[in-house]
Amino acid sequence: MRQGKRDFLTFWDLTRQEVEEILLLSRDLKEKRKRGIVYEPLKGKMLAMIFEKASTRTRVSFEVGMRELGGHSLFLSPSELQIGRGESISDTARVLSRYVDCIIIRSYSQELVEEFAINSEVPVINGLTNKHHPCQVLGDIFTIWEKKSYLQGIKVAYVGDGNNVAHSLIQAASLMDFNLTVACPDGYEPDQSILKSALEKNPGSIRVIRNPFEAVSDADVIYTDVWTSMGWEEEAELRRKIFRGYQVNMDLVSSSKKDVIVMHCLPAHRGEEITSDVMDGSWSVILDQAENRLHTQKALIIKLIIGF
């Protein structure tokens, strides 16, 4: 592994100062794009993208972002690589990092991504695993900062499954000092080791409760995600029954602050975890949230390749 090389595998791979630098750069990049200013600091650089899982926002935002920064991207599915025929993760990582300047991996396994990063000579980005989704949450906190003008002390209510997005939000809350309340059914809580580590870093910043109405009562942000993530499809019908009381609907939103904003990382199952009237309502910032993935990931790639 190259000395000084940086990866982004979980949200805690960045310091608070580095996240703040990325947010400022993201705002600048967004403004440049809006004004049609060409900015190509990664001209001649190559991003490799290895995707085991299907993707819309992650793939398109990284490909478009790399192109806008003057670089190129190469999409690779496991079936197109020798890794799909038994080549080791370590060998694949060592070879690929001789060709490209950065690698993003979207995988079921967090351990696979971590093993890849250990053996890579170039930065590795976690594009999503079953355990973490740090790129999503980087875009999320930029959206909150953009809409509310601050992060420290903001109150976020996450309603639903304690999944990979919840884990990255927990890490972000402890690092950036905002308040996070997770409302979820019994047995669907976030990973206890992640929660414990977050509370050790920032005691009192995170709560896990059962009642979604209690969670949103004083929230600045209501956040939800699908009840059944990729890889748990066989549990879909059971989860619909268990999570029925955790739908983000008009009743729930009206129980929060008047200026609350509603977020969803997408894709959404309308009529399940969120209703269409909420998703398309004036409090929804979901499309802005999706767009901001582009700007924050551009900033992240610049910082990982060029340096903080």
17 as an active site residue: the answer is no
133 as an active site residue: the answer is yes
pLDDT digit string (tens) for 84-99?
567 889 999 999 999 9
What pLDDT is recorded for position 104?
98
Q: Where are the beta strands (DSSP E) in 42-131?
A: 46-51, 72-76, 102-106, 124-128
Q: Is the separation of the CB atoms in 288 and 261 below 8 Å?
A: no
What pLDDT is recorded for position 308?
95
Q: Is 173 exposed, middle or buried (0-12, 13-18, 19+ CB in 10 A)?
A: buried
Active-site choice (225, 239, 289, 295): 225
What pLDDT is recorded for position 85?
62
Q: How many CB atoms lie within 10 A of CB 203?
A: 9
265 as an active site residue: the answer is yes
Active-site choice (136, 171, 247, 297): 136
What pLDDT is recorded for position 13?
98
What pLDDT is recorded for position 2?
65
Q: Is the separation of the CB atoms in 163 and 229 below 8 Å?
A: yes
225 as an active site residue: the answer is yes
Instruction: Give the list of residues 6+ apart from residue 130 with CB closer than 8 angstroms, or none.
Output: 108, 109, 110, 164, 229, 231
Instruction: Give the list of residues 6+ apart from residue 8 with CB closer than 8 angstroms, or none.
Output: 14, 123, 124, 125, 126, 134, 135, 300, 304
Total count of residues recorded for the chain: 308
pTM of the model: 0.96
136 as an active site residue: the answer is yes
33 as an active site residue: the answer is no
What pLDDT is recorded for position 84?
59
Active-site choice (57, 59, 106, 295): 106
| Tens digit of each residue's pLDDT, the chain (308 residues) | 666 899 999 999 999 999 999 999 999 999 999 999 999 999 999 999 999 988 999 999 999 999 999 999 999 987 777 665 678 899 999 999 999 999 999 999 999 999 999 999 999 999 999 999 999 999 999 999 999 999 999 999 999 999 999 999 999 999 999 999 999 999 999 999 999 999 999 998 899 999 999 999 999 999 999 999 877 788 999 999 999 999 999 999 999 999 999 999 999 999 999 999 999 999 999 999 999 999 999 999 999 999 99
What pLDDT is recorded for position 204?
84
How does DSSP assign 162-205, residue by residue? --HHHHHHHHHHHHHT-EEEEE--TT-PPPHHHHHHHHHHSTTS
Active-site choice (6, 57, 132, 133): 133
Active-site choice (135, 265, 289, 297): 265
Among the listed residues 243, 220, 126, 112, the one whose alpha carbon sits nearest the alpha carbon of residue 173? 220
Question: Distance between CA 131 and CA 197 in Å, rounded?
Answer: 15
Active-site choice (6, 59, 132, 293): 293
